[in-house]
Amino acid sequence: MRLRLAGAVLLAAAAYYVYLPLPSGVSEPWKLMLLDALFRSFMRASDAAHSLGVCHRVRLLNRVVSWVEVIEARSSPTVKVTDSTLGGVPTRVFQPNGDSRLRRGVLYFHGGGWALGSAKMRSYDLLCRKMAEDLDAVIMSVEYRLAPEAVFPDQYHDAVVASQAFLSAELLQQYDIDPERLCVSGDSAGGNLAAAVAQELSLDDSLQVKFKAQALIYPVLQALDFHTPSYQQNQAVPILYRPYMARFWLQYLGADSSLEPVLLANNHSALDQRAISAATRSKLNWTALLPAERKKNFKPVVEEKGSPGVVGAVPGLIDVRAAPLLAEQEVLGKTPKAYVMTCEFDVLRDDGLMYGRRLQDAGVEVTSDHYEDGFHGCMVFANLPMMSSVGQRSMRNYIRWLDQNL
- Report yes or no: 70 and 120 within 8 Å, Cβ to Cβ: yes
Per-position DSSP letters for 101-143, written without gaps between them = --EEEEEEE--STTTS--TTBHHHHHHHHHHHHHHTEEEEEE-
Per-position DSSP letters for 64-103, written without gaps between them = HHHHHHB------SSEEEEEEEETTEEEEEEEE-SS---E
How far apart, in Å, are the Cα atoms of 20 and each of 17, 23, 44, 378?
Answer: 8, 10, 17, 18
Mean pLDDT over 31-56 rounds to: 76
Q: Tell me which amino acid residue 265 is.
A: A
**2 falls within a domain:** no
Active site residue 346: yes
Query: Residue 380: how many CB atoms within 10 A of its CB?
Result: 23
Query: Residue 337: how many CB atoms within 10 A of its CB?
Result: 16
**370 falls within a domain:** yes
- Report yes or no: 322 and 252 within 8 Å, Cβ to Cβ: yes
The single residue of 346, 350, 351, 369 carrying the catalytic annotation is 346
Question: Which range among 6-10, 69-73, 97-101, 287-291 shows the weakest confidence by mean pLDDT?
Answer: 6-10
The 3-state DSSP class for residue 338 equals strand
The range of the structural domain enclosing residue 366 comes to 20-406
Active site residue 376: yes
The single residue of 230, 376, 388, 394 carrying the catalytic annotation is 376
Query: Residue 179: how many CB atoms within 10 A of its CB?
Result: 16
**8 falls within a domain:** no
- Report yes or no: 173 and 167 within 8 Å, Cβ to Cβ: no
CATH number at residue 27: 3.40.50.1820
Q: Tell me which amino acid residue 193 is.
A: L
Alpha-carbon distance of 278 to 295, in angstroms, equals 21
**54 pLDDT tier (thresholds 50, 70, 90):** low
pLDDT for position 3: 46
**177 pLDDT tier (thresholds 50, 70, 90):** very high
**180 falls within a domain:** yes
Alpha-carbon distance of 372 to 331, in angstroms, equals 31
Query: Residue 98: how many CB atoms within 10 A of its CB?
Result: 11
Q: What is the DSSP letter of 315?
A: G
- Give residue-wise pLDDT tens across range 234-283: 999 988 999 999 999 999 999 999 999 999 999 999 999 999 999 999 99
pLDDT for position 77: 95
- Give residue-wise pLDDT tens across range 313-359: 999 999 999 999 999 999 999 999 999 999 999 999 999 999 999 99
What percent of the chain stands above pLDDT 90? 78
**15 falls within a domain:** no
Residue 15 has pLDDT above 60, yes or no: no
The single residue of 27, 188, 230, 388 carrying the catalytic annotation is 188
- Total domains in the fold of the chain: 1
**233 falls within a domain:** yes
- Report yes or no: 399 and 339 within 8 Å, Cβ to Cβ: no
Question: Which range among 92-96, 138-142, 356-360, 384-388 shows the weakest confidence by mean pLDDT?
Answer: 384-388
**383 falls within a domain:** yes
Alpha-carbon distance of 390 to 375, in angstroms, equals 9
**11 falls within a domain:** no
